[in-house]
Amino acid sequence: MDIGIIGSGHIGGTLTRRLSALGHRVTVANSRGPDSLAALAAETGATAGTVQQAARARDLVVVTIPQRAVPSLPRDLFAATPASTAVIDTGNYYPELRDSPIAELDAGLNDSEWVARHLGRPVLKAFNNVQARTLARGGLPPGAPGRVALSVAGDDVEAKNRVLQLFDALGFDGVDAGTLADSWRQQVGTPAYCHDLDAAALRAALAAAERDKVAEYRREGEAMVMRLIAEAGGNLDALAAP
């Protein structure tokens, strides 16, 4: 596939490595410009480009940047993107740890619905509820014991199927988590968040989430990430957090 990745942090960098290794054509971009991505491009064979170039990918665009940075993306970023291109949002809202409060999200709007409004483009939510090190370790063959499952939520069935196939190619079982309106079930701190579950357990975790606990889940999820960072000596890179 022709894939654009906007963001080169833990998740963006890991997906650049994994997807390039699978033979996909990957263009990776960040806010600092192509020159800052020379080492990653040399390592993986991906193309270092601008965010506009990454957004024009034919098959898939992954937006994997901090929530606070989404409004800073160019307003017409997806003007030249084919209508058939699937757009994935991997973002997580951390109001205390990273992003500062965002009123619409604090009022109950789903993280990825908020992203879709800013992008002016339908999105799928995926890759947000696993740590980058889970993606980096690589998956297992279908049917293997302990195969981790990944979930995707969104409204476009064909686009979701494309992502589910990608999960399988990466070595993970895929779980359809419902529509984008259901994507709160895999947000920060929910039972489906960062537990490396198999497919059956992930489906159960998604079903167990309670809508009126989203704010509580978020507080608990942020506290968990802060504890992990502290245990890693304050080194976020050592943790490879999502």
Collapse the DSSP code of 198 into the 3-class scheme (helix H, G, I; strand E, B; otherwise coil) and give the result.
coil
Residue 236 has pLDDT above 70, yes or no: no
What's the pLDDT at 234?
A: 63
Mean pLDDT of 48-67: 97
Helix (H) or strand (E) segment spanning residue 86: strand 86-89
Q: Dihedrals φ, ψ of 175, to 5°?
A: -125, 125
Alpha helices, DSSP H, located in 68-131: 103-106, 111-119
What's the pLDDT at 241?
A: 36
Confirm if 214 and 173 have CB atoms less than 8 A apart. no
Residue 55 has pLDDT above 50, yes or no: yes
The domains of the chain, with CATH numbers, are: 2-239 (3.40.50.720)
Mean pLDDT of 191-210: 97
Mean pLDDT of 58-73: 96
Residue 173 has pLDDT above 60, yes or no: yes
3-51 confidence digits (pLDDT tens): 999 999 999 999 999 999 999 999 999 999 999 999 999 999 999 999 9
Return d(Cα 148, Cα 145) in angstroms, integer: 9
DSSP calls for 133-158: HHHHH----TT-TT--EEEEE-S-HH
Residue 238 has pLDDT above 50, yes or no: no
Residue 193 has pLDDT above 90, yes or no: yes
Return d(Cα 29, Cα 126) in angstroms, integer: 19
What is the value of pTM for the model shown?
A: 0.93
pLDDT band at 213 (very low <50, low <70, confident <90, very high): very high
124-148 confidence digits (pLDDT tens): 999 999 999 999 987 899 999 999 9
Tell me the average pLDDT of the chain: 94
69-115 confidence digits (pLDDT tens): 999 999 999 999 999 999 999 999 999 989 999 999 999 999 999 99
What's the pLDDT at 78?
A: 97
Mean pLDDT of 184-199: 96
pLDDT band at 179 (very low <50, low <70, confident <90, very high): very high
